[in-house]
Structure 1
Amino acid sequence: MPVAATADVVVVGAGIVGAACAEALTAAGVRVVVVDRGAVASATTASGEGNVLVSDKEPGPELDLAIASRAEWGAVLARLPERVADVEWEDKGGVVVATAESGPLKAFAAKQRAAGVDARLITPAETFELEPLLTRDVTIGVHYPDDAQLQPVLAATALLTAVRSRGSSVRSGVDALSLRTASGRVVGVETSAGEIVCGAVLNACGPWAGTFAAAAGAPIHVLPRRGMILVTAPLPDCVRHKVYDADYVGAVGSGDADLQTSTVVESTRAGTVLIGSSRERIGFDEAIRVKVLRELARKAVGLFPFLGDVPVMRTYGGFRPYAPDHLPVIGPDPRVGGLWHATGHEGAGIGLAASTGRLVTELFLGLEPHVAPDPFRVDRPAVLAA
């Protein structure tokens, strides 16, 4: 097969995580080629809500990464070319509410504050000041000023525009078929458009990362977990923050394969309201399940009663990369020299992308990492279980 290009690193996957890694690498002077069998940001990234959250994570490595990434997004956006810098970033903050027993939410917020999160307990009256249309069944709220939102497709596209502006390339519609190795190290990637000669390959294939890793001779345990979202018709200003019920945190951290739903409601700059969220491990089954949509709608009306009179314009869903221990997989693979992974973020990939890109770059260049990398190692038992 003819040589199509040369690069220091080939990034396989042009979603938000692959784009953030490519942007960080090229900002540090690394030559990159990004390939994706589909269009840029057309899979998992296109099915996300754009959340950049610190409010939904238990204290531990993922929360540490989330706090760092929330700060890192500012630096990343400042590096973007001016013509693409608007990614609909909103410092809207988040509000988490309980409508029954308030003790678990209070305890969770206290643990987060101890870990450095700005988590402010607020009374029902203060909650209604922030969100006047909330149900009056609220018993307590927690305000998270640092929660933010962006438009994920715009963000991934802008990141890859920055990659191109630095002389690296992005190739959509190009399938990475296999690795070429010599003496146990990567020397190239065979693609549907020819061979790309390189010294390293980054697996940023999202829910398909396990398939790519297995083909590369280094299998990892990353599975698809499906989520669905409802989108209303455009509305006047009605939901001011990202608002969700206290059950959401438990659903995020659960490993159950069966359907789980919790209420998440937020508006977009276009005026639509996004309603989630669901999680279920059903492989790559794309069938629309009406029972899931009904459950999302029912719970959303319980949180915001006015939504009962609002038409739903469309629904969409997607697959998120799930690792059994709920931690991303970030770093080099010790089994194949030059093979790297950045996957397993599940529904948090958009928020964690900025620090993931920085961490990959730091490890690749031998720099001091800004967060502890060991919890995200590829060779941990949960990732190599398969």
Structure 2
Amino acid sequence: MTRNEAASDTLVIGGGVVGAALAWGLARAGERVTVLDDGDIVLRASRGNFGLVWVQSKGAKMFDYARWTRRSADLWPEFAATIGAETGLDLAYEKPGGIHFMLSETELEAARARNFAMKDVTGPDDYGAEIVDRHELDKIFPGLGPDVIGGSYGHHDGHVNPLKLLRGLHLAMEARGVRYVSNARVEHVSKDGAGFTAETAKGRFSAAKVVLAAGHGTTELAPALGLDMPLRPEKGQILVTERCATRLLPMPTHVLRQTDEGTVLIGDSHENTGYSTASYTPVLTDIARHALRCFPALAALKVVRSWGCVRVLSPDGCPVYHASETCPGAFAIACHSGVTLAAAHAMELADVIASGSFGDRFAAFHPRRFSHAQAH
């Protein structure tokens, strides 16, 4: 195994949206950063997600997560503009708000109760979700199906092209001098004197700090650094229509999103199938059927492709941020909402990691909460 002598302040393991956002943020903070990334054959949620920057319903069972999500949504306009200015790439980010359609009184009452419970969570900042009736929805979405009885409108919701986001982050990393090493699967990471060493097929890399941000790959690497990252896979499938020259959807919904290229993404399956990314017709049929109940005009569009992607979820679905106590300088970051939290990761979490310690700031995201839950 050869030793790579290029000096770095921090190794970031994982080059998806989470790792790339942190790497760019660390470089922005003045650090020398090396990103060690696996090949594109890995389970890369960054290339298979829906592209929502979503606030409503996030953190209903963990208010710190709700506040952190809202903080990221507030940072997104500046974040997108900064990445665009540094790379010349438009991320196709928009913040028109978002709608969660309700097809039954039970769903509507549950949403109303959730919005009421969440209205004061963000303190002086408005949670920004309100119930809208069918009459109001018809003004926003002409052509809704008869089964839609109302919805929840989130003022702070938006969407982005996730492929352009990932590309933009990598271009921005390069512009700031981040060293990106592809096809460098990390086989082992360890404490090495005052720093850390990661062993890969492309050599051995060392730095003063290390950040594990490799999605499901983080779970295997974490124990060697005194880190605990309990993660579980969940598959989601997506249908994609042909491009439509007209704007059918003025804003994203929780199951439908029209992209900047004109296609419509249709999704929202939640499947316990392990690490499988296979697409199955019965699930896709259910997805399509639900979409047509919401917006029958989609029946005129051809479906051109579909895919399955594996989400990165903790036991409670909320982020896990862990700073090692036995190996100071080692961090592990994992979350399902990598796109929504990209701005906060890049513009705030990276600065905290650069300082070398979380302190008490992210105590709510510590994995000890899972052992506490089991104890009770």
Alignment TM-score, normalising by the size of structure 2: 0.88
Q: Which amino acid aligns with 1:205?
A: A
Give the Cα–Cα distance (whole angstroms) in 2 for the partners of residues 53 and 193 of structure 1.
Answer: 38
Deviations 1:55-87 (A, max 9, x none): 132441221111011112223223324443411
Q: Measure how far apart 1:311 and its partner are.
A: 1.6
Q: Which amino acid aligns with 2:289?
A: R
Q: Which amino acid aligns with 2:330?
A: L
Deviations 1:240-277 (A, max 9, x none): 21124xxxxxxxxxxxxxxxxxxx01110111110011
State whether structure 2 residue 166 is matched by structure 1 residue 156: yes
**Residue of structure 2 in register with 1:165 after alignment:** 175
Q: 1:94 aligns with which of 98, 114, 117?
A: 98
Give the Cα–Cα distance (whole angstroms) in 2 for the partners of residues 367 and 146 of structure 1.
Answer: 32
Give the Cα–Cα distance (whole angstroms) in 1 for the partners of residues 88 and 364 of structure 2.
Answer: 34
Runs of 4+ in 1 over 6 A off after TM superposition: 367-371
Give the Cα–Cα distance (whole angstroms) in 2 for the partners of residues 301 and 382 of structure 1.
Answer: 42
Q: Which amino acid aligns with 1:232?
A: T
Q: Which amino acid aligns with 1:46?
A: R
Q: How many matched pairs?
A: 363
Contact kept? 1:324, 1:383, Cα under 8 Å:
no
**Residue of structure 2 in register with 1:128 after alignment:** 138
Q: Using a 3 Å threshold, how does the CA distance of structure 1 residues 379 and 201 change in structure 2: closer, same or farther? A: farther
Q: What is the SS of the residue equivalent to 1:206?
A: coil
Contact kept? 1:41, 1:153, Cα under 8 Å:
no
Deviations 1:281-316 (A, max 9, x none): 222123322211111011111111122332211001
Contact kept? 2:99, 2:251, Cα under 8 Å:
yes
State whether structure 2 residue 353 is matched by structure 1 residue 350: no
**Residue of structure 2 in register with 1:311 after alignment:** 302
**Residue of structure 1 in register with 2:256 after alignment:** 265
Contact kept? 1:69, 1:351, Cα under 8 Å:
yes
Q: Which amino acid aligns with 1:377?
A: H
Q: 2:120 aligns with which of 86, 92, 114?
A: 114
Q: 2:147 aligns with which of 129, 132, 137?
A: 137
State whether structure 2 residue 301 is matched by structure 1 residue 300: no
**Residue of structure 1 in register with 2:44 after alignment:** 43
**Residue of structure 1 in register with 2:65 after alignment:** 62
Give the Cα–Cα distance (whole angstroms) in 1 for the partners of residues 175 and 87 of structure 2.
Answer: 12
Superposition pairs of residues 1-12 of structure 1, within 5 angstroms: 1-4=1-4, 5-12=6-13
Q: What is the SS of the residue equivalent to 1:70?
A: helix
Q: Measure how far apart 1:335 and its partner are.
A: 3.7
Give the Cα–Cα distance (whole angstroms) in 2 for the partners of residues 304 and 208 of structure 1.
Answer: 38
Q: Using a 3 Å threshold, how does the CA distance of structure 1 residues 383 and 133 change in structure 2: closer, same or farther? A: farther
Q: Which amino acid aligns with 2:23?
A: A
Q: What is the SS of the residue equivalent to 1:277?
A: coil
**Residue of structure 2 in register with 1:259 after alignment:** none
**Residue of structure 2 in register with 1:381 after alignment:** 370
State whether structure 2 residue 361 is matched by structure 1 residue 340: no
Q: Which amino acid aligns with 1:309?
A: A
**Residue of structure 2 in register with 1:32 after alignment:** 33
| Long gaps (5+) in structure 2 | none
Contact kept? 2:93, 2:158, Cα under 8 Å:
yes
**Residue of structure 2 in register with 1:207 after alignment:** 216
Q: What is the SS of the residue equivalent to 1:278?
A: coil
Q: Using a 3 Å threshold, how does the CA distance of structure 1 residues 87 and 74 change in structure 2: closer, same or farther? A: same
Give the Cα–Cα distance (whole angstroms) in 2 for the partners of residues 305 and 197 of structure 1.
Answer: 56
Q: Which amino acid aligns with 2:98?
A: G
Instruction: Give % identity.
Output: 27
Give the Cα–Cα distance (whole angstroms) in 1 for the partners of residues 42 and 190 of structure 2.
Answer: 26
Contact kept? 2:189, 2:221, Cα under 8 Å:
no
Q: What is the SS of the residue equivalent to 1:279?
A: coil
Q: What is the SS of the residue equivalent to 1:363?
A: helix
Give the Cα–Cα distance (whole angstroms) in 1 for the partners of residues 7 and 343 of structure 2.
Answer: 25
Contact kept? 2:315, 2:370, Cα under 8 Å:
no
**Residue of structure 2 in register with 1:274 after alignment:** 265
Give the Cα–Cα distance (whole angstroms) in 2 for the partners of residues 371 and 133 of structure 1.
Answer: 49
Q: 1:326 aligns with which of 304, 310, 317?
A: 317
Bigger mean CA deviation after superposition, 106-115 or 24-33: 106-115
Q: Measure how far apart 1:125 and its partner are.
A: 1.3
Contact kept? 1:38, 1:173, Cα under 8 Å:
yes
Q: Measure how far apart 1:382 and its partner are.
A: 4.9
Contact kept? 1:208, 1:321, Cα under 8 Å:
no
Give the Cα–Cα distance (whole angstroms) in 1 for the partners of residues 188 and 288 of structure 2.
Answer: 43
Q: Measure how far apart 1:96 and its partner are.
A: 1.9
